Structure 1
Amino acid sequence: MRDRLEASSGLWLRRWTVRDAQSVLAAFADPVMRYQVSEPVASLDAAYRWLTHQSDQWDSGEGFAFAAVDAMDVVLGNAAVRVVDQRHRTGWVSYWTTTTSRNKGIASKACRSLARWSFDEPGLFRLELGHRINNPASCRVAKAAGFAVEGIERQKLEYDGVRFDVERHGRLATDTDPTMPV
């Protein structure tokens, strides 16, 4: 299975490695990243644990996380798919970008590339993702990556005692690729 692919000119997706620990630690130092993980990544040891988890998921075929990097191999973000239902070939997509990489189209390009890879390599048919409805930037990423809005899951998430609605998006292997003219 390919573990490196070109997402767009100057943007690559590659498998995470232990040499990315400092970049992971720096990314998770951003308060916006607080809810992206179940265990805080607040130390170099925690960054190594996060990277080890990504590697273990990859090796087991349960999930595939890619570092989004530029031509100089600087980490700009993450695009990942977790296989949630092998029988029905369904995956759950997640993504994030570093503070300096936001609002540049990196997440949507990475997600488009990840989706195509997910359909071609592990053979998934349906990809899903969700975002808090108070996160319009994440919604723009999902739509730009070809994920159709499928509905609202009421009060699905709870952070610091506050419940949030989640907008669900889906993309099928048979959907028109968003980079291709209709």
Structure 2
Amino acid sequence: MTRTLSTPPVIETGALSTRPQPVLPAAGGLLLRPWERADAPVFLSAYEDAGLRRWHTRRPTSEAQIADWFDGYRRDWAEEKGAHWAVAGGDGEVLGRIALRGLDFDDGVAFVAYWVLPAARGAGVATRAVTALAAWALDEIGFHRLELEHSVHNDASCGVARKAGFPLEGTKRKAAVHDDGPHDMHLHARVRGD
């Protein structure tokens, strides 16, 4: 179905799909790069961590399932539905994951999601990755607003959001279900010009 808007879309169709998914540099020698099949074992191992499992309820159970997810990530880029990267150190070692989801080209809004492997936590990896992704999405692609949500109990993610320039805007009551039941979620956002 074709929609008629009174205003043109903020971002034109083809802004992503007409080019390869980029490798984005981040401070401290980090690289945000597309996922590769060889990353499946480390991706799977991430979900063995209780800290990560506490906040992420969509969990892979096999490397075959992860390969399907990676295929979906490539389709998301081609269909301009999302963008998913491995966060890698200077030696190429995967340290985490970052993504833009729910891309709305009409209004210029997208959602940031991320996680970091236990060995890389506390070193600013998530903050540097979120900062780099936000700069690319806002300044190069042209999004107006990026949103980031986390459980109100996830103090580490709250710190990442604030350090990456995403001030807290409010609390969404019982907005996500975790293993222990519904959680209130903090909503952070960064807009172009912040």
Shared fold (TM-score, shorter chain, > 0.5) = yes
SS of 1:3's partner is coil
Could you tell me how far 1:82 is from its partner in structure 2?
Answer: 1.5
Taking a change above 3 Å as real, the CA distance of residues 150 and 72 of structure 1, as seen in their structure-2 partners, is same
Question: Are 1:92 and 2:111 counterparts?
Answer: yes
Moved over 6 A (4+): none
Taking a change above 3 Å as real, the CA distance of residues 59 and 37 of structure 1, as seen in their structure-2 partners, is farther
Q: What does residue 103 of structure 1 align with?
A: 122
Q: What does residue 124 of structure 1 align with?
A: 143
Q: How do 1:123-142 residues align onto structure 2 when only pairs under 5 Å count?
A: 123-142=142-161
How many Å separate the matches in 1 of 2:177 and 2:40? 28
Equivalent residue in structure 2 for 1:114, among 115, 119, 133: 133
SS of 1:164's partner is strand
Q: What does residue 36 of structure 1 align with?
A: 56
How many Å separate the matches in 1 of 2:177 and 2:66? 24
Contact 1:133-1:165 at 8 Å conserved across structures = yes
Equivalent residue in structure 2 for 1:20, among 35, 39, 43: 39
Contact 1:29-1:42 at 8 Å conserved across structures = no
> Deviation digits for residues 1-22 of structure 1, max 9, x if unmatched?
5511210132111111212111
Question: Which letter does structure 1 place at the counterpart of 2:79?
Answer: S
Which structure: greater strand fraction? 1
Normalised to the residue count of structure 2, the TM-score between the two structures is 0.84
5+ residue gaps in structure 1? 176-182
Question: Which letter does structure 2 place at the counterpart of 1:62?
Answer: K
> Deviation digits for residues 76-108 of structure 1, max 9, x if unmatched?
001111243221010000010011111110000
Equivalent residue in structure 1 for 2:175, among 135, 141, 156: 156
5+ residue gaps in structure 2? 1-18
Question: Which letter does structure 1 place at the counterpart of 2:116?
Answer: T
How many Å separate the matches in 2 of 1:157 and 1:137? 18
Normalised to the residue count of structure 1, the TM-score between the two structures is 0.89
Alignment identity in percent?
Answer: 34
